[in-house]
Structure 1
Amino acid sequence: MKKLLFVGISLLLLVVAVGCSKSESVDGDGQKNITMWVHVSDENEEGKVYQKRVEVFNKEYASDHVEAKIEFIPRSGNGGGYEDKVNAALTTSTLPDVITLDGPNTAAYAKSGVISPLDEYVKDQDDLLPSIKQQGTYQDKLYAIGVSESSVGIYYNKKMLQEAGVDLKTLPTVDSPWTWTQFLELCKTLTDKYKKPSIDMQLQAKDEMLTYALTPFVWSAGGDLISKDGKKADGVFNQAATVEAMDFIQTMLKKGYTTRTPVKQAFETEKYPMKFSGVWTVTDLKTNFPEVEYGVMPYPVSPNTKKLVSPSGSWQFAMTQTSENKEWSAKLVDWMTNKESNIELSRSIAALPVRFSSEEVMSKEFSEQMNVFMKQLKETGHARPVTPAYPQVTRAFQQAVDDISFYDQNHDIQKVLDARAKEMQTAVDKAN
């Protein structure tokens, strides 16, 4: 699973009226053609799994005269390519029957009439992890199903921690997480020992990684980005809980435990003893840095609440509103996210399952590190806000983190949050 990126949805989604698809859904001999676009290359492992699952789908339903066709449209480094083609198809009414979309985009696509509800067709929703249902639901209707799950944790170099006098048996677990205070003490021990940052928190990121990885600190403190009904940001994002979470991040910077300008691949090359990163780093370490002996610990928690919260969500499959074969299109969405597809993808890349049934199988095959991620996700996973205003909300959050990082310029946390909350509120008001 590669690092999460987010590209704001084009305003086309808010203004284009989606018309009928121009693709032929039924040909002359009664063959039903289901078209699907995906955001990855057919040359990477994820794309190969998608291709294989489509081929098996076609064999399974050949007697029903149904054929699914997959088109690979890889995203560029800045997230373009795939989204550009989706937006272009909106203007020309040439969307396929099934598309992939990033989790936070659900509300915007649903509100704009780009995707259609799945509830009428997908009946085994109880098997889906709560975090998957949360990210794919808008106004109490399920619009999309995640193809895999993801999470973030703290990677640690076993050898470097032991050399600093840390007993690995005392490290936190999902059942017994550390508070931010305890984590700061560990960071002090490591920074004192190695005379360099103890962890790369990826604060240099200018993309969705900041929101994805850092929002759980806000949630742990009892805060949120916007209200549950999606109508209020000012008075929510800038409340005391968010100040507490941002103060923890700022303290990490002030004390030199982390940095905005980390050494490239500092953890992987054993320069920093810890790294804050997602499940995708498991694959990177296995493939490119197999000599690194590492473990994974869960998020530290607010000392006030002691509540462990972790991020969740990744890319999803959805059926477009323009599909003329909704029953079969929904069946393809269900197929691409079913137990067998989940297991095959998990075995091919470091991807967490989206279903309880597939998790039961993979938990026996996963490494110790992957099972930490799975347990944390299953018990504490929290989806990002499902709101049509998400592109503006996430940008404001990222800018707030960037603002408080410049603590030497006397950026007062409360003032920063007040300003960014107003930006969020403006976007939320327009979206509603």
Structure 2
Amino acid sequence: MSSIAALAAAALVAGCGGSGSAGSSGADGNTLTLWTHNAGNAAEYGVVQQIVKDFNASQSKYKVKIQAFPQDSYNDSVVAAASAKKLPCILDVDGPNVPNWAWGGYLAPLDLSSGKVAVKDQLPSTVGRYQNKTYAFGFYDVALTLYARKSVLNKYGIRIPTIDKPWTKSEFMAALAKLKASGKFAYPLELATGNTGEWWPYAYSPMLQSFGGDLIDRSTYKTAEGALNGDKAIEWGKWFRSLVTKGYTAQKSGKSPNDDFLNGKSAISWDGSWSAAGDTAKLGDDLAILPPVDFGNGPKIGGASWQWGMSSTCSNKAGAQAYLNFSRQTKYFVDFAKATNTVPATNAAAAQVPGYKPGDKFNFFVQEAQKFAVVRPVTPAYPYISTVFTKTAQDILAGADVKGALDEAVSQIDNNLKQNNHYSGS
């Protein structure tokens, strides 16, 4: 459901430029195969099944058949199928992977002009683009946010921030100091540092970006020098480590960070919009949904979740395009958001989803996605960058020299870029 699935980084990046561009697959005449990562996710899978059923019933020329995979093995299955030139015609893709899959020859550009929902009306983070072409689109996004109890913040005289006036760094650190000094919380801040994989760049690189650093220099996408190891990035790294040394957060959190927050073990939790409904059910009006901290360059959250595209090897692209455009109806955007407790990708859909309508409690996440979302670097190198950043951030939390760790990360990323000719091929 969310965009924090583990990435098959090495398999995706190592010499795959153009690997899927030859041959054809995914269709037997006008019968087209669709792959999804939603096996085991009954609610979201049910929406996919309904769209396919409706499309098949809406016309007699094409028929779409579904094959569902468990999320943990999905990326590997796509990579293997691409190597064997046996990709389906229609497939979903985790948003940050779109540039890599487009560069690798897995995806074909889309013409979405005949869909009922216009691309321009979607949250930008829900449209997968690469080299000025659209390769995928999603029905929803997710938003990271801070959760707290209003009663706890009020008890310790901590201002409740708003979208328009988030906490500054100094306010945030003062709040953590008060909460730590109370003796009520072993770790006042829950960052879910026990999570693995894509959670690390998804959750923590927006903090780096709010400090003024980044994972790569986005002006050229040819180096991470200065972005990931400049003064702002070093400042972020030292701050990140200080959260552990000051006892504000755990170097490795427990297995159920959301439960720890709900049980009062932590006072402030950095978590996703997917937890909002459950948290509200448990805490009611005492739940405070808060914007990300402004560390100096504006509040930031990660953007992009699962999206849909068409394989470059599909032998019936007209049928695949027909299905994808058929799916672009507001009712399906609504159905996905309801099924997954996610942020609807359009305002029209949000207006029909309970809790997300303007003025409703969860419309906060729509505003966050509109104002604060930053997509992960739009480069085929992203899966590799993700892996490097994850290890680097973990090392920093564990006490590694910040500048040395970031310099090493830059060296590794720049070497990968050079080895792949800066991913200049398409």
TM-score normalised by length of structure 1: 0.87
Corresponding residue SS for 1:267: helix
| Cα distance change on mapping 1:362 and 1:373 into 2, 3 Å | same
| Cα distance change on mapping 1:116 and 1:22 into 2, 3 Å | closer
The aligned residue for residue 191 of structure 1 is 180
Corresponding residue SS for 2:386: helix
Corresponding residue SS for 1:266: helix
Q: Whole-Å Cα distance in 1 between the matches of residues 189 and 82 of structure 2?
A: 43
List per-residue Cα deviations over 1:378-402 (Å, max 9, x = no partner).
1121100121111211111112211
The within-5 A match list for 1:18-417 is 18-26=21-29, 32-41=30-39, 44-62=42-60, 65-75=61-71, 79=72, 81-119=73-111, 124-133=118-127, 136-162=128-154, 164-166=155-157, 170-193=159-182, 194-228=184-218, 229-263=220-254, 264=256, 265-285=259-279, 289=282, 293-303=286-296, 305=297, 307-362=298-353, 365=356, 368-407=360-399, 411-417=400-406
Matched-pair identity in % = 24
Query: Which runs of no fewer than 5 residues in structure 2 stay unpaired?
Result: none
For the 8 Å contact 2:39–2:45, the answer to whether it is kept is yes
Q: Whole-Å Cα distance in 1 between the matches of residues 47 and 112 of structure 2?
A: 27
Q: Root-mean-square deviation (CA), in Å?
A: 2.4
- Report the Cα offset of residue 290 of structure 1: 6.5
Alignment-mate amino acid for residue 295 of structure 2: S
- Report the Cα offset of residue 248 of structure 1: 2.4
- Report the Cα offset of residue 37 of structure 1: 0.3
- Report the Cα offset of residue 355 of structure 1: 2.3
- Report the Cα offset of residue 114 of structure 1: 0.9
The aligned residue for residue 16 of structure 1 is 19
Corresponding residue SS for 1:296: strand
For the 8 Å contact 2:52–2:64, the answer to whether it is kept is yes
| Cα distance change on mapping 1:15 and 1:52 into 2, 3 Å | same
Alignment-mate amino acid for residue 131 of structure 2: Q
- Report the Cα offset of residue 119 of structure 1: 3.7
Q: Whole-Å Cα distance in 1 between the matches of residues 370 and 209 of structure 2?
A: 16
For the 8 Å contact 2:123–2:369, the answer to whether it is kept is no
Q: Whole-Å Cα distance in 2 between the matches of residues 117 and 54 of structure 1?
A: 21
| Cα distance change on mapping 1:340 and 1:120 into 2, 3 Å | closer
Corresponding residue SS for 1:39: strand
For the 8 Å contact 1:98–1:320, the answer to whether it is kept is yes
- Report the Cα offset of residue 261 of structure 1: 2.9
Q: Whole-Å Cα distance in 2 between the matches of residues 364 and 201 of structure 1?
A: 25
- Report the Cα offset of residue 138 of structure 1: 0.7
Q: Whole-Å Cα distance in 2 between the matches of residues 104 and 73 of structure 1?
A: 19
- Report the Cα offset of residue 226 of structure 1: 0.9
Q: Whole-Å Cα distance in 1 between the matches of residues 396 and 231 of structure 2?
A: 15
Q: Whole-Å Cα distance in 2 between the matches of residues 325 and 142 of structure 1?
A: 19
- Report the Cα offset of residue 152 of structure 1: 0.5
Q: Whole-Å Cα distance in 2 between the matches of residues 230 and 175 of structure 1?
A: 31
Query: Which runs of no fewer than 5 residues in structure 1 stay unpaired?
Result: 27-31
How many equivalent pairs are there?
Answer: 410
Alignment-mate amino acid for residue 8 of structure 2: G
For the 8 Å contact 2:185–2:267, the answer to whether it is kept is no
Alignment-mate amino acid for residue 196 of structure 1: A
- Report the Cα offset of residue 364 of structure 1: 6.1
Alignment-mate amino acid for residue 51 of structure 1: Q
Q: Whole-Å Cα distance in 1 between the matches of residues 41 and 301 of structure 2?
A: 31
| Cα distance change on mapping 1:216 and 1:337 into 2, 3 Å | farther
The aligned residue for residue 29 of structure 1 is none
Range 144-153 or range 290-299, more displaced: 290-299
Alignment-mate amino acid for residue 67 of structure 1: K
Range 387-396 or range 351-360, more displaced: 351-360
For the 8 Å contact 1:121–1:327, the answer to whether it is kept is no
For the 8 Å contact 1:50–1:336, the answer to whether it is kept is no
| Cα distance change on mapping 1:217 and 1:329 into 2, 3 Å | same
For the 8 Å contact 2:2–2:305, the answer to whether it is kept is no
Q: Whole-Å Cα distance in 2 between the matches of residues 360 and 221 of structure 1?
A: 34
TM-score normalised by length of structure 2: 0.89
